[in-house]
């Protein structure tokens, strides 16, 4: 096992990684920007080093500064968390070149799966179903037109380098394609510095179902079941749960097998996620692989009892997986609500501020991952996620009741959050019945906010 790990991140995930390290007897070094001097991941650290100004490009994305700190503090590994440099192939390579273990896959694997049209082609080659669409990238709008005519409208124009729901455009009619194609290209260039596009058929009202996988250096690849992440606003997840109401044991088996095949095809090592959309007939299609730990990983930890960050560290240290596929049992039901410092009545606009008072829920089957404390100032510079409330219960309905109870117990004063909005979702009859897809929030947002007003 490693002696000392550099945590190249901030917020709740930095704290989460620190916890796994402590339990393994591994020392950690935290890094922080000038805006984060009072942050929890600094206060809890035995060693913390300032790496630059508030702007992420000058601090958390500053590869040279991070590597210098890692070397000077005697670290032997780097954990990138999620966001920031976690899916940056060059960062993975640079760590390896400097003799630091990167706690994630190799640069080559990140590069390959980071190009979503190339990943699609790889999956096709290995008989993992993909959404009907282009073979690889599409060069011109005219070429896209021909493919769209063949697969039928509506279609999605997507950026090969895409992420966070950006560089993506829905096209309903042939006459709109040219304009949307150029829009997507411009956004992809601006966000990712890469304008390459590809085409997928738009699956109407799909479920977003993703599979957690683990792969070690010894050829073991397993999956840890699914997470249903169909409750999304602006293509970003808000509530996640496992297991998914729509998966029969047969479908879970088939999708789990496909996820393992996908990870093997990529030559994957470490923890990763295979994302699928599932249509209303239960057909599933690969959409992308996330080559890092995910925000919603605790949902899987609650139903499997497996510490994913601990597994990540073990894998990167060259140890074999501590579980076999047949030992993975999904027990009960888990659910996560993302608590963001955002105003749901202002289309989820980030609303940072000073945490005047915070009280977290507790009791049986409850877990809160957060960096908040009384007086903590939420920075406008970074992601608005301030807490994740995760519950575990024997059944889905008990998990819903437990989550409602948790959100009622929780107090965060000083800025608006998504907590009350999540509480409303947990009361919607369709959500309670498990009848929801990725269109749920767009369809019900006004209705839910209306409930709030009547109260």
CA 256 to chain centre: 18
Report the DSSP beta bridge partners of residue 274.
211, 289
Q: Which residue in 206, 243, 256, 298 binds ligand ADP (CB under 6 A)?
A: 206
347 sits near ligand ADP (criterion: CB under 6 A): no
Q: What is the distance between the alpha carbons of residues 239 and 237, in angstroms, rounded to a whole number?
A: 6
The distance of closest approach from Cβ of residue 156 to Mg ion in the complex, given in angstroms and rounded to an integer, is 12
* CA trace torsion 255, 257, 258, 263 (10° rounding): 130
162 sits near ligand ADP (criterion: CB under 6 A): yes
Q: From its phi and psi, is residue 328 left (phi > 0), alpha (psi between -120 and 50) or beta?
A: beta
Tokens matching residue 147: 């493919």
Q: Kindly name the residue from 10, 292, 338, 402 that is annotated as catalytic.
A: 292
369 sits near ligand ADP (criterion: CB under 6 A): no
The distance of closest approach from Cβ of residue 385 to ligand ADP in the complex, given in angstroms and rounded to an integer, is 6
277 sits near ligand ADP (criterion: CB under 6 A): yes
The distance of closest approach from Cβ of residue 99 to ligand ADP in the complex, given in angstroms and rounded to an integer, is 27
Positions 9 through 68 that interact with ligand ADP (CB under 6 A): none
Nearer to ligand ADP, 27 or 31 (CB): 31
CA 92 to chain centre: 19
Nearer to ligand ADP, 275 or 301 (CB): 275
228 sits near ligand ADP (criterion: CB under 6 A): no
SS3 per residue for 217-272: CCCCEEEEEEEEEEEEECCEEEEEEECCCCCCHHHHHHHHHHHHHHHHHCCCCEEE
The distance of closest approach from Cβ of residue 388 to ligand ADP in the complex, given in angstroms and rounded to an integer, is 10
The distance of closest approach from Cβ of residue 85 to ligand ADP in the complex, given in angstroms and rounded to an integer, is 11
Nearer to ligand ADP, 149 or 452 (CB): 149
Tokens matching residue 72: 């000077």
Nearer to ligand ADP, 342 or 383 (CB): 383
Residue 24 CB partners (closer than 8 Å, separation 6+): 1, 310, 313
441 sits near ligand ADP (criterion: CB under 6 A): no
Site map 265..294 versus Mg ion, x via CB under 5 A:
----------x-------------------
Q: What is the distance between the alpha carbons of residues 329 and 11, in angstroms, rounded to a whole number?
A: 31
Residue 279 CB partners (closer than 8 Å, separation 6+): 203, 204, 206, 285
164 sits near ligand ADP (criterion: CB under 6 A): yes
Q: Is 185 a catalytic residue?
A: no
Total binding residues toward Mg ion, as defined by CB under 5 A: 1
Cis peptide before 154 (omega within 30 of 0): yes
Neighbours of 2 (CB within 10 A): 22
- Segment interacting with ligand ADP (CB under 6 A) among 67-75, 290-298, 303-311, 328-336: 290-298
Q: What is the distance between the alpha carbons of residues 421 and 436, in angstroms, rounded to a whole number?
A: 16
Q: Which residue in 9, 28, 270, 294 binds ligand ADP (CB under 6 A)?
A: 294
Nearer to Mg ion, 290 or 370 (CB): 290
Tokens matching residue 125: 């080659």
Q: What is the distance between the alpha carbons of residues 4 and 14, in angstroms, rounded to a whole number?
A: 14
Q: Which residue in 246, 295, 302, 372 binds ligand ADP (CB under 6 A)?
A: 295
- Which residues are known catalytic residues? 292
Positions that interact with ligand ADP (CB under 6 A): 82-83, 131, 156, 162-165, 200, 202-203, 206, 208, 232, 235-237, 275, 277, 287-288, 290, 294-296, 383, 438
């Amino acid at each position: 096992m490693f002696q000392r790990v550099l945590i190249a991140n901030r917020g709740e995930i930095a704290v989460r990684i620190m916890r796994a390290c402590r339990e393994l007897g591994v020392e950690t070094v935290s890094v922080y920007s000038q805006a984060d001097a009072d942050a929890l991941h600094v206060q809890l650290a035995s060693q913390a080093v300032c790496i630059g100004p508030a702007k992420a490009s000058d601090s958390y994305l500053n590869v040279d500064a991070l590597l210098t700190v890692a070397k000077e503090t005697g670290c032997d590994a780097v954990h990138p968390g999620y966001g920031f440099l976690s899916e940056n192939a060059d960062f993975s390579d640079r760590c390896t070149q400097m003799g630091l273990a990167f706690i994630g896959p190799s640069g080559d694997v990140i590069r390959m799966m980071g190009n979503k049209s190339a990943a699609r082609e790889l999956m096709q080659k290995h008989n993992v179903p993909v959404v009907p669409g282009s073979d690889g990238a599409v060069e011109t709008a005219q070429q896209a037109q021909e493919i769209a005519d063949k697969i039928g409208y509506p279609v999605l124009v997507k950026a090969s380098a895409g992420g966070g729901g950006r560089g993506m455009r829905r096209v309903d009619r042939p006459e709109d394609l040219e304009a949307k194609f150029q829009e997507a290209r411009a956004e992809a260039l601006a966000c990712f510095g890469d304008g390459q596009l590809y085409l997928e058929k738009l699956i109407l009202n799909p479920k977003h179902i993703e599979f957690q996988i683990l792969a070690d250096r010894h050829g073991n690849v397993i999956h840890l079941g699914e997470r249903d992440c169909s409750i999304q606003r602006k293509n970003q997840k808000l509530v996640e749960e496992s297991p998914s109401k729509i998966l029969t044991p047969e479908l879970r088996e088939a999708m789990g097998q496909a996820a393992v095949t996908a990870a093997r095809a990529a030559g994957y090592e470490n923890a990763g996620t295979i994302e699928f959309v599932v249509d209303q007939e239960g057909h599933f299609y690969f959409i992308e692989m996330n080559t890092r730990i995910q925000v919603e990983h605790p949902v899987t930890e609650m139903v499997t009892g497996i510490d994913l960050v601990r597994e990540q560290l073990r894998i990167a240290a060259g140890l074999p997986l501590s579980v076999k596929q047949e030992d993975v049992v999904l027990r009960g039901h888990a659910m996560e609500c993302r608590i963001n410092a955002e105003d749901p009545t202002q289309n989820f606009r980030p609303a940072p501020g000073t945490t005047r008072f915070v009280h977290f829920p507790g009791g049986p089957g409850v877990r809160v991952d957060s960096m908040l404390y009384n007086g903590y100032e939420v920075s406008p510079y970074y992601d608005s996620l301030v807490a994740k409330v995760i519950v575990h219960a024997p059944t889905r309905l008990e998990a819903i009741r437990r989550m409602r109870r948790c959100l009622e117990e929780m107090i965060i004063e000083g800025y608006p959050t998504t907590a009350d909005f999540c509480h409303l979702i947990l009361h919607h009859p369709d959500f309670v019945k498990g009848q929801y897809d990725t269109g749920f929030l767009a369809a019900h947002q006004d209705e839910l906010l209306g409930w709030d007003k009547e109260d």
